[in-house]
Chains A and B, each alone.
Chain A
Amino acid sequence: DGGITQSPKYLFRKEGQNVTLSCEQNLNHDAMYWYRQDPGQGLRLIYYSQIVNDFQKGDIAEGYSVSREKKESFPLTVTSAQKNPTAFYLCASSPGAETQYFGPGTRLLVL
């Protein structure tokens, strides 16, 4: 069963804590992306990776970090430097043909 998976579905962060959101794809896509979605706003790009071991900052990278050690995995860490982390986080992948396919999302809440 091919697709993009994100885990967990819900994540709770205590103040000052780093948390990591998982994104895995078995579609053999080269490119992967992380977006943040807030109510009333469109998707905003956090980080993207066009190839393994390489990634670039998007429009709102501050307070976030990523790694791309394997083609199928692109985890996102929300660091304590991100002061307003409550949002819906979406991971996407692309075969390089422009269309991006999204995972089910992770909702991050602050305790």
Chain B
Amino acid sequence: GESVGLHLPTLSVQEGDNSIINCAYSNSASDYFIWYKQESGKGPQFIIDIRSNMDKRQGQRVTVLLNKTVKHLSLQIAATQPGDSAVYFCAENNAGNMLTFGGGTRLMVKP
């Protein structure tokens, strides 16, 4: 399939291990954050979101952590599976319905 990014930072993990993907956001006024997963040749898929009045939110096998002090967002994936291999983007909202996207991190899961 097509590559969505040839020069992206890459995280390589063993199947079954936990993965942590990090994102630094730019605007201290941002009040809403989203993580997307993008498989090769496909559109981004919503994973999980968090508002700025929270510092942690959990979903199914995923957890998002928000540190507003250092403007840092992380996505934790528990028991990483081969199907988790993709590019992961964070996005921040600071003006109505407009999102600013990070550059993405490629997650590679080794069997």
Contacts and interface: CB of A to CB of B under 8 A. Distances in A.
B108 interface: no
Interface stretch (A11-19, A38-46, A62-70, A71-79): A38-46
B83 interface: no
A104 B42 contact: yes
Contacts of B97: 31, 48, 50, 94, 96, 98, 100
Given A102-B45, A104-B42, A42 B4 contact: no
Interface residues of A, number: 25
B2 A88 contact: yes
Contacts of A105: 41-43
A39 B32 contact: no
A39 B101 contact: no
Contact of A43 (B42, B49, B89, B93): B89
B103 interface: yes
Interface of A: 4, 6, 31, 37, 39-43, 45, 48, 50, 88, 90, 94, 96, 98-105, 107
